[in-house]
Structure 1
Amino acid sequence: MPELPEVEALTGFLAEHLVGRSVARVQPVAVSVLKTYDPPVTALEGLTFTAARRHGKFLDLTADGLHLVVHLARAGWLQWRENLPAAPPRRGKGPLALRLHLAEPEGTGFDLTEAGTQKRLAVHVVHDPAEVPGIARLGIDPLAGDFTEEAFAGLLRDERRQIKGVLRDQSVLAGIGNAYSDEILHVARMSPFKLAASLDGEETARLYEAVGTTLREAVERSHGLAAGKLKAEKKSGLRVHGRTGEPCPVCGDTIREVSFSDSSLQYCPTCQTGGKPLADRRMSRLLK
């Protein structure tokens, strides 16, 4: 899933390539991708892009007062095209969900695609981004100036949930998902199962620092990359997430995994849990 660093880099790429250019036509391919109907997505045709912004994991492309808001979800992506086909795309064939043609140069634009069978890619056309429910409920942005250590401590103070879940909760912190929460907790040397409200002052400061450094370093690595290279950059920069069975780059211990119904987390026992493996109930059932 694209998270804050990738969406931030994608926003920069689109600001460079879209602003000042007008929309020739918009072709929705998968009806399920459209989450609004008034104004229709075709209302963008003839308008000129004026800005590209990010709200958490949401892309916000402004065109003469209308906002094309995109949430890429788990398996969605935006693919920039220099040579879009002139023929209308065929519905129900392949991962293509929506195609946008720019007026000039002819043939340029982008495709929104989504792999897999779970279709969660979402496209909204609104007058105000706050009309999108997912944006309206977003918490503080970890790269914003008001994300201070004091503010972070206040968010955690009454949280009785595990810290992994708190970091991923978009109504608490906007933009952090499964991958970067694993990376942040590894940098902070903290168990993903630790209760957020139990953190003392030193632990809170350590986690706050890890949030900032992890995300800023990922943004810096992605800065200036073309849209098509961002996924590979994310994967190459991850130290523990998705690396089950590999050696920890810090201590050399084997990275372990805890599996859930629709996701998993990765961690280093030596760096994060005092050398003790965390219980993985799904794996335990398989071993019976």
Structure 2
Amino acid sequence: MPELPELTVFADNLSKAVVGKEIVKVDYRGKKSVKVPTEELTRSMVAARIDKVQRVGKQLLVRLSNDATLFIHLMLKGGFVLTKTEELQQLDAVILAVSFADGSALALTDPRGMATVALNPKRGEQPRDGLKVTADYLQAACQRQPNKMIKALLVDQEVIGGIGNAYSDEILWRARISPKSLAGKLPPEAIDALVEAIPAVLNEAVEEIRRRRPDAVSGEVRDFLKVHGPDLKSSPNGARIIKEQIQSKVTYYTEEQKLYR
């Protein structure tokens, strides 16, 4: 599933490709993935221009010139294709196809059909973005759920936006904290290590993805990760990587990481 680093790159590349373009046609095929009638989605989009594309947590926000907003969640395998209108019919697993006045097009695809599109959703208080987590915020979050494993807290999108299974493992390894540590048992120095590791890992990943796939609008680039991956046997320091199911998440960690209980 794309996480904050991939989605940041996707949003930047989509912005370069489609912001300012006028929408002339909308073809919505994901009948189970939108909570409004197809006709309303079309009516809200056609004749509008795309004003902004940005990442919000683990979703992408598309804001239109008529103030309508779309929130797109790619789920496990969703992604985008930048193409021409006449080539849209050649694509498989299209959920949403948007044609522009200049003949270009953007398609949201998902072979599993799970990617979702929400039009003008009601949104309450938003979680702190992964790149804006402070020590005070994280300490308070840990105190509210003291018996929650720290990995589960990091991937909770109601607490921190954007971090998923893969990057939580990388962050915890960088901070040298076991994923099975209890949030309420983390001492101040562990909180500080996490607050330092979170932006460091995420920003480094954004730059690595940009370097390897500068035009990416779909897929995952993970072969540079340090511990999260089925083919990795040891950390950069030589410690054996342990693979374990932790609260429904396939988790990778090493004995370098301290357990706080």
Instruction: Calculate the TM-score normalised by the size of structure 1.
Output: 0.80
Distance, in Å, in 1 between the alignment partners of 2:224 and 2:30 is 32
Alpha-carbon deviations, 1:169-221, whole Å to 9, x = none?
Answer: 01110111111101101101111010000000111111111112111111222
Alpha-carbon deviations, 1:137-179, whole Å to 9, x = none?
Answer: 53111223xx322222121123220000000001110111111
* Mapped contact 1:188–1:206 kept (Cα < 8 A): yes
Distance, in Å, in 1 between the alignment partners of 2:80 and 2:249 is 23
- Count of residues in Structure 1 that have an aligned counterpart in Structure 2: 254
* Mapped contact 1:244–1:257 kept (Cα < 8 A): no
Q: How does 1:9-28 map to 2 (within 5 A)?
A: 9-28=9-28
Distance, in Å, in 1 between the alignment partners of 2:165 and 2:25 is 35
1:272 aligns with 2:260: no
Distance, in Å, in 1 between the alignment partners of 2:38 and 2:228 is 40
Q: Report the counterpart of residue 215 of structure 2 in structure 1.
A: 226
Q: Structure 1 residues 243 and 198 mapped into 2: Cα distance closer, same or farther (>3 Å)?
A: same
1:50 aligns with 2:51: yes
Distance, in Å, in 2 between the alignment partners of 1:41 and 1:77 is 20
Alpha-carbon deviations, 1:233-257, whole Å to 9, x = none?
Answer: x3123111123552212x2133221
* Mapped contact 1:26–1:101 kept (Cα < 8 A): yes
Residue type matched to 1:183 in 2? E
Q: Report the counterpart of residue 60 of structure 1 in structure 2.
A: 61
Q: How does 1:58-97 map to 2 (within 5 A)?
A: 58-64=59-65, 65-81=67-83, 83-85=84-86, 94-97=92-95
* Mapped contact 1:114–1:121 kept (Cα < 8 A): yes
Q: Report the counterpart of residue 240 of structure 2 in structure 1.
A: 254
1:142 aligns with 2:140: no
Q: CA RMSD in A?
A: 2.4
Distance, in Å, in 2 between the alignment partners of 1:42 and 1:89 is 22
Matched residue of 1:98: which SS? strand
Q: Report the counterpart of residue 204 of structure 1 in structure 2.
A: 191
Q: Report the counterpart of residue 109 of structure 1 in structure 2.
A: 105
Unaligned runs of 5+ in 1: 275-288
The answer to which structure, 1 or 2, has the higher relative contact order (CA under 8 A, 6+ apart) is 2
Residue type matched to 2:179 in 1? P
Unaligned runs of 5+ in 2: none
Q: Following TM superposition, by how much is the alpha carbon of 1:33 offset from its aligned partner in structure 2, in angstroms?
A: 2.1
Alpha-carbon deviations, 1:51-80, whole Å to 9, x = none?
Answer: 112210111111111112201111211122
* Mapped contact 2:79–2:219 kept (Cα < 8 A): no
* Mapped contact 1:69–1:123 kept (Cα < 8 A): yes
Distance, in Å, in 2 between the alignment partners of 1:79 and 1:12 is 14
Q: Which has the larger share of strand?
A: 2
Residue type matched to 1:95 in 2? A
Q: Report the counterpart of residue 116 of structure 2 in structure 1.
A: 122
* Mapped contact 2:88–2:107 kept (Cα < 8 A): no
Residue type matched to 1:139 in 2? P
Q: Following TM superposition, by how much is the alpha carbon of 1:223 offset from its aligned partner in structure 2, in angstroms?
A: 4.1
Distance, in Å, in 1 between the alignment partners of 2:247 and 2:190 is 30
Q: Structure 1 residues 58 and 85 mapped into 2: Cα distance closer, same or farther (>3 Å)?
A: same
Q: Structure 1 residues 151 and 102 mapped into 2: Cα distance closer, same or farther (>3 Å)?
A: same
Q: Structure 1 residues 205 and 97 mapped into 2: Cα distance closer, same or farther (>3 Å)?
A: same
Q: Structure 1 residues 222 and 32 mapped into 2: Cα distance closer, same or farther (>3 Å)?
A: same
Residue type matched to 1:52 in 2? V
Distance, in Å, in 1 between the alignment partners of 2:87 and 2:205 is 37
Q: Structure 1 residues 15 and 182 mapped into 2: Cα distance closer, same or farther (>3 Å)?
A: same
Q: Structure 1 residues 30 and 38 mapped into 2: Cα distance closer, same or farther (>3 Å)?
A: closer
Residue type matched to 1:97 in 2? I
Identity of aligned residues (%): 28
Q: Structure 1 residues 153 and 79 mapped into 2: Cα distance closer, same or farther (>3 Å)?
A: same
Distance, in Å, in 2 between the alignment partners of 1:192 and 1:89 is 44
